[in-house]
Amino acid sequence: MDLEYLRAHPDKLPMFIEHQRIRSTPVGGGSISVTQRLTLDDGTDVFAKFNEDGPPGLLEAETRGIAWLAEAGAPVPHVLCATAEVLVSDWIDPGAPGVVAAEELGRRLAELHRFGTKTFGAPWPGFIGRLPLDNEVAERSWSGWFASRRLLPYLRDSRDNGSLSAADVAAVEAVITRIEELAPPAEPVARLHGDLWPGNIHWGRDRAWLVDPAAHGGHRETDIALLHLWGGAPHLDRIVAAYHEMWPLPEGWRHRIPLHQLHLLLVHTAMFGSGYRDQVMDAVRQL
């Protein structure tokens, strides 16, 4: 199996791997999909992600999101082929995070966000991790859209799985009732990566790449806020400074970081359980 054959017959890739007709090496990935480095017969290395236990449509959503981000010039790996079971993209040798790459990432994020889109959400059913992400296109205000499609679904799931107590849920609901007061200033809808915590930046040898998107239209502060989660991205100050050179963020954006982060934190309590409860409640206290 060489690259040309793979592009023509991506559905045959699992069979080749199963029968050891292609060299594969497990690589670190998320908790949702199996990821491997594959070496083809012509010596080409590729990155393959397999949807073994995830929900139907997971890789289709990611493939469409990558194409949508690439349309705006975002630094995303090139998809070589994709099916419902496997997504294959360029292999990018890992490198050390550097200041130059961080500053370029900041500028490219600003360009991506400014490229924009017409509405909140996206024209395909989304996922964040293995959970559905409501991408239904809506012409409402950002605050109403964010509350109904990015906070409440995962708050309900976190309540139902016991990750958050009744008192915790009430505290989050109190934040949601104030969301118009807490929301950032209205802006044109930005084109977002949508799941831009630091682990979804792949640092290559000469630049930083965006991977594992939950792409959709939203407010650009969300991507920037997620970069601050869990210790923050390497050289975060340089990423933000370079972003500001291209397109300064609205005044008060740092105070709104917990609001934007609340979405992904609730996703984690909904998906992984009460281990993330304290981080949810810390964001609520800050708000």
The residue from 38, 66, 90 where one domain ends is 90
Residue 8 binned pLDDT confidence (cut-offs 50, 70, 90): confident
Which pLDDT score, from 0 to 100, does residue 247 have? 97
pLDDT value of position 145: 94
Q: Can you spell out the DSSP letters for 85-149?
A: SEEEEE---B----HHHHHHHHHHHHHHHHH--SSBB-SS-EEETTEEE----B-S-HHHHHIII
Given 57, 73, 90, the domain boundary residue is 90
Residues forming beta bridges with residue 48, ordered by sequence position: 36, 88
**Three-class DSSP category at 244:** helix
List, for residues 144-192, the tens digit of each pLDDT value: 999 999 999 999 999 999 999 999 999 999 999 999 999 999 999 999 9
pLDDT digits (tens, 9 = 90+) for 60-112: 999 999 999 999 999 999 999 888 888 999 999 999 999 999 999 999 999 99
Does residue 1 carry a pLDDT above 70?
Answer: no
Predicted pLDDT of residue 26: 75
- pLDDT tens by residue, 99-119: 999 999 999 999 999 999 999
pLDDT of amino acid 256 = 98
Q: 103 and 230 share a domain?
A: yes
- What pTM was computed for the model? 0.92
Among 37, 71, 90, which residue terminates a domain?
A: 90
The residue from 195, 212, 237, 278 that is catalytic is: 195
Q: Are residues 65 and 134 in the same domain?
A: no
Same-domain check for residues 179 and 268 = yes
Answer yes or no: 195 catalytic.
Answer: yes
